[in-house]
Structure 1
Amino acid sequence: MSFGDQNNPYGQQPPQGQPGYGYPQQAPQGIPGQPGQPYAPFPQDQGGGYNGAPYGQPFAMPGLTKAARVLMYVIAGVHVVLAGLFATAIAAIDDAVEKEGSGGTVRTANGEEVDVDTVIDAGKGVIAFFVLLAAVFAIIGIILAARYGKGRNGVRVGSIVYSSFGIISGLITSVMYGLGLVTLVASILVIVFAAKRASSEWFQRPRY
């Protein structure tokens, strides 16, 4: 008797759910390498990189980090303007001395007489120091902001320290120029944005 004889009531039928003899067996689903079968991705192919991005896909800079970088450029730009204003003040002093002339003495609060030229030179020296300080501060800010794309955690820490000094600079220059208020507000925002977790993860992201 044969397995395929339908008229034989005692014929043995192949067990249900199992292929008969000569029938091609199917490979289990999800096993890579079997022809004709769909590939089941491994868990790491579903994501799991920075912010859930697939592995190998470039990371995108968070919005808060981008805002901090823009504000760093703003702070640096303000100090470039301040350096120009201080330099203009020195030039104005020189013009005034040239027109009005110099010489003579002035009496200080202690009753001492001091040469006018000495006072003028001292004042110009102080202003020149602020010119140099503002220029250096602007250069440091530009360098830090330019490193936001490839820099590591040191750039983030440096931005926080830089903005801390920016707050002091804003408080001082706000008395003389309104631009100091811009520096003050921008410096506070940079500290807040750079301290956020998203910014920390960006600068500590793995490099491939």
Structure 2
Amino acid sequence: MSFGDPNNPYGPPPQQPPAAQYGYPQTPPGVPPQVPGYPQQVAYPGYPAGNALPQTMPGLVTTARVLLYIVAGAQVLIGIFALLGAATLNDASNASEDTFGDNAFSDIGHDGAGIIFVIALLFLGLAALSITLGVKFSRGGQGIRVTTMVYGILGAVFGVLILISAADAGSSAALVWALMWIGFGGVMAAAMIAPSGSAWFNRPRY
């Protein structure tokens, strides 16, 4: 018998697979080791490893979103009342024409009704913009952030103009209205400028 014969009792023992170390089973090369008692996570292309924690909207951004909805409600009310005012003024002008014929007062009434109607459409359009921005906060990107920031700055400037007019006229109601616009616009702009707001709109989306 030769040493190459597997049945040779005097030949070298056959090679055995390497023993498992520390009691854990060996895995083939290229396969990640598995820990007993813990299921292995399957990696999917394009997704980060491990379980992703749920993303929470920062508090300041949430406040800006709520303010957008409040502003939208006020704008809807203003738009509706303006439409009613325009319709009432237009009916009064038509009645004046029916009674006195074409006159200067009826012309002024029609012109005023047209201006109020345009203002009503403006506020209703702004209300739609406010609602759209608030809804897009959850999935929007930098475009929503920049638009909200500019929107807040313009609202604060509008409040400053009302504040100046209220100070000249001595109207307390206009003063409250001006402070509301300044506060709301300032918070919205600050939320978008803050690092937490920038990070929220720059976050990865899967």
State the TM-score bracket (shorter-chain normalisation). 0.5 to 0.7
Q: 1:59-138 alignment to 2 at 5 Å?
A: 59-94=55-90, 96-97=92-93, 98=95, 101=99, 115-138=104-127
Give % identity: 28
After alignment, is 162-171 or 152-161 more displaced?
A: 162-171
Q: Distance in 2 between matches of 1:90 and 1:68?
A: 32
Q: Tell me, which stretches of 5 or more residues in structure 2 are unaligned? A: 1-19, 24-31, 39-47, 167-172
Number of aligned residues: 161
Q: Distance in 2 between matches of 1:171 and 1:198?
A: 27
**The structure with more helix, counted as a fraction of residues:** 2
- Alignment partner of 1:60: what SS? coil
Deviation at 1:205, TM superposition (A): 0.4
Displacement of 1:102:
5.3
Cα deviation 1:10-51 (Å, max 9, x = unaligned): xxxxxxxxxxxxxx8648xxxx7266699xxxxxxxxxx9xx
Alignment deviations for residues 45-81 of structure 1 (CA, whole Å, 9 cap, x no partner): xxxx9xxxx7522211111111111111111111111
Q: Are 1:75 and 1:187, in contact at CA under 8 Å, matched by a contact in 2?
A: no
1:185 partner amino acid: G
Larger mean CA deviation between 81-90 and 146-155 belongs to 81-90
CA–CA separation in structure 2 for the residues paired with 1:37 and 1:88: 71
Q: TM-score, normalised by structure 2?
A: 0.64
**Please, what is the CA RMSD of the aligned residues?**
3.5
Structure 1 partner of 2:187: 189
Residue of structure 1 aligned with 2:196, choices 162, 179, 198: 198
* Mean Cα deviation higher: 162-171 or 128-137: 162-171
Q: What's the TM-score once normalised by structure 1's chain length?
A: 0.63
| Cα separation, 2, equivalents of 1:189 and 1:154 | 18
In structure 2, C-alpha distance between the alignment counterparts of 1:173 and 1:102, rounded to whole Å: 38
Which segments of 5 or more consecutive residues in structure 1 lack a partner in the other structure? Answer: 1-23, 39-48, 106-114
- Counterpart of 1:197, as a letter, is P
Instruction: Give the CA deviation at 1:196.
Output: 0.8
